[in-house]
Amino acid sequence: MGRSKLIRGRADRAAGFTIGYAIRRAAGYALGRATICAMGCAVGVAALLSLPAASAFADETCNSPYISKLIKGQEGYVHVWTLGVEGLGDGSDKLVTVDVDPHSKSYGKVVGSVSVGGRGEAHHMGFTDDRRYLWAGNLDDSKIYVFDVGTHPGKPALIKTITDFAPGSGLVGPHTFYALPGRMLIGALSNTRDNGGVTGIALYNNKGALIRKYDIPRSKLGGVVGDGYGYDLAVNPAKNVLLSSSFTGRDNYMRDLGEVVKDPQAMKRFGNTMVVWNLKSFQPTQVLNVPGAPLEIRWNLVPGQNWAVTATALTSKIWLVRQDAAGTWSAKDVATIGDPAKIPLPVDISISADGKGLWVNTFMDGTTHYFDLSDPEHPKQTYEKKTGSQVNMVSQSWDGKRVYITSSLLAHWDKKGADNEQYLRAFNWDGHELAPAFQIDFLAAKLGRPHHMKFTAGT
């Protein structure tokens, strides 16, 4: 099914391209002159518009820095990778597309929903380098779904399912999808041997073929012994550095959170390290001690900055990863998030495009925090708002004026009963207050548990 859609797309595109160029020449473009033929131009414009448009207008700050079309402005759609809930709607994991253009008649409404025909703990997504495709992973069954979001961003199409991630790589729980040119890096959470937290990174080409697996180190590097755990990935190309962080294995993340926290042995099975990799050779060069499950990694890539931050889920801290004059990287605890004694559980973070601000969501108390990162050695919380009974992912627009949050962490870790709100909420941010823009109740709409978000442009 997916293949035939691909072929049809190519044929349409070929026809449009040919006509487009023929008409464009007739209109004098090729000669570089403004020789306008009204009729020719009218037809030409129509034909040219049949090409995939490059009119992207927005992005969040959490994508690979070399993804095509990172453009500032108003995003058109938010795609939400949503966990299916048994007995709710079709019960399937799905990619839900929401129109977020305030000028659109369907603003704040669901305009697309692509079910994948099963439930496998939908979790994170990542664009390919050209931003035409979105890879979305499942933490339970380790399936990876590839959606075409380039042809019709408002109506994504499932074009490929990778079902052999686990047997092919020996890894379980494809979590982070991070584009390299022509390739996709996939950070996993677990392994096929024992479902524990020792894991690795898989490198795929954009056609969906596994190239190689790299193990997260367990040896001593830079004076710190690695624990082999994995979670997020983030690259700084100017430094030729990849950072990885660490969480926990399938034996914990597929278990009820209440049981996990009461099990001292299970609580020992969380990552306490980050790893610095040489991106070119893909060799780990340093292990950094970052206790308490360092999760999302965000680089400040502004020239002269080159530092990254992460938040630790269990210890509720912001950590700064920075290189010294000698070229050695170190990690430093620079701020506290909420009251660590209450285990607020920081989950997602979102850095502003200028690197001077950081949104942090804490799941347990349903609070969205804003930290001033102007001095990354001393982040200061300047704002907080209770945004739900539980809150997980946070994504901001490139200009920082809009903030989107979702509610679900993991199917077995979400709250129960009335606290199990499941929503996408959009806010406008004026630098002082998060003002509600719209919200969608994913339970009332029979969609499921909304998790990761990615933006595409309008058409």
Which CB sits closer to another protein, 295 or 353? Answer: 353
- Looking at this protein, which amino acid is placed at residue 194? D
CA–CA dist 140, 157 (Å, integer): 22
Give the x/- contact pattern for another protein in 285-314, rule: CB under 8 A: ------------------x--x--------
Query: Three-class SS of residue 230?
Result: coil
Which CB sits closer to another protein, 303 or 417? Answer: 303
CB 289 within 8 A of CB 224: yes
Write out the two tokens for 93.
């994991």
Which CB sits closer to another protein, 19 or 111? Answer: 19
Write out the two tokens for 48.
């040219």
CB 272 within 8 A of CB 290: yes
Axis crossing angle, helix 38-49 with helix 2-26, rounded to the nearest 10? 160
Which CB sits closer to another protein, 263 or 282? Answer: 282
Does position 118 bind another protein by CB under 8 A? no
Residue that the structure tokens 């072929």 belong to:
7
Does position 113 bind another protein by CB under 8 A? no
CB 51 within 8 A of CB 20: yes
Does position 328 bind another protein by CB under 8 A? no
CA–CA dist 372, 98 (Å, integer): 30
Within 35-74, the residues that bind another protein by CB under 8 A are 44-45, 48-49, 51-55, 65-66, 68-73
Which CB sits closer to another protein, 200 or 249? Answer: 200
Does position 152 bind another protein by CB under 8 A? no
Within 7-36, the residues that bind another protein by CB under 8 A are 10, 13-14, 17-18, 20-22, 24-25, 29-30, 32
CB 410 within 8 A of CB 395: no
Which CB sits closer to another protein, 212 or 386? Answer: 212
Within 221-260, the residues that bind another protein by CB under 8 A are 237-241
Counting Cα atoms < 13 Å in the Cβ hemisphere of 282 gives: 13
Does position 107 bind another protein by CB under 8 A? no
Closest by CA position to 302, among listed 381, 236, 348: 236
Binding residues for another protein, per CB under 8 A? 10, 13-14, 17-18, 20-22, 24-25, 29-30, 32, 44-45, 48-49, 51-55, 65-66, 68-73, 128-130, 132, 150, 180-183, 203, 205-207, 209, 211-212, 237-241, 278, 280-281, 283, 303, 306
